[in-house]
Amino acid sequence: MIFSPSLDAIFSKTNLTFAERVERTRELGFTAFEFWGWGDKDLAALAAQKDRLGLRVGSFCTKHGNLVDPAQRGRFIDGLAESLAAAKRLDCAYLIATVGDAREGVAREEQHDSIVDGLKAAAPLLEEAGVTLVVEPLNELVDHRGYYLVRSDEAFAIIDKVGSPNVKVLFDVYHQQISEGNLIPTIRANLGRIGYFHIADHPGRHEIGTGEIHYRNVLNAIRDAGYAGLVGLEYFPERGADESLTAFLKEFA
């Protein structure tokens, strides 16, 4: 597995610039990193920096993540096209999509179908670009009240209906522990539908080892199931960023 620190989350309490965060990631021994939004980034400078350091951009978010409303589909597709161009400049193989908050007064089945149709419309662009879009369920109990896509079983059902190898699920272990638990059996049963993982501990969304999730067992299960891809570290450290990342590599690398 390849561990990819989220520069926005982990370094959120530091005074480091984005470029300095990239440098620090390499200094600490990582080979990949990720971030949330690309619109404010100097893509040429970032591409040159990551190439110089021998780093990989694991993922970033596509623009305009509202898939529950068919009236917003054109905006989503336009944002995806722009994000694919950014991904090409950064040689990034994964984009993250959220689906938007549930629409009040609209049947869930209608919103579900809108997500499927939007992702089907996106699939040819993704396949042509060689980029995988990973769709993220989020918890609504703690962090994202009102968000539509909470349970992983619905996310997997959506992926099956879309039927593209370039549209998969981002399984965020933190979010799914809050929403449903049953982590290891769910991961084992659905690994082929999962394109990317995120991890943080619960409660608090802090570094690994501060909460209730037994990450040694979870990560071993992911590895033993045959997953060799990216695992994003998307937590907000209680300790310093450097200390938490060093401790993580010492235990899990």
Mean pLDDT by 10 residues, the chain (253 residues): 98 98 99 98 98 99 95 98 99 99 98 99 99 99 98 99 99 99 99 99 98 98 98 98 98 93
User: Is there a contact between 65 and 31 (Cβ–Cβ < 8 Å)?
Assistant: no
The domains of the chain, with CATH numbers, are 2-252 (3.20.20.150)
The pLDDT of residue 32 is 99
Which residue pairs from 73-81 have beta carbons closer than 8 angstroms and sit at least 24 positions apart in sequence?
Answer: 73/114, 73/117, 73/118, 73/121, 76/118, 76/122, 77/118, 77/121, 77/122, 77/125, 80/122, 80/125, 80/126, 80/133, 81/125
User: Is there a contact between 60 and 34 (Cβ–Cβ < 8 Å)?
Assistant: yes
Distance of CA 44 to the CA centre of its chain: 23
Nearest to 200 by CA among 146, 169, 244: 244
User: Is there a contact between 78 and 126 (Cβ–Cβ < 8 Å)?
Assistant: no
Q: How far, in Å, CA of 225 to CA of 61, rounded?
A: 27
The pLDDT of residue 253 is 87
The pLDDT of residue 65 is 81
The pLDDT of residue 225 is 97
Model confidence pTM above 0.85: yes
Q: How far, in Å, CA of 62 to CA of 37, rounded?
A: 7
The pLDDT of residue 138 is 99
Q: How far, in Å, CA of 160 to CA of 129, rounded?
A: 21
The pLDDT of residue 42 is 98
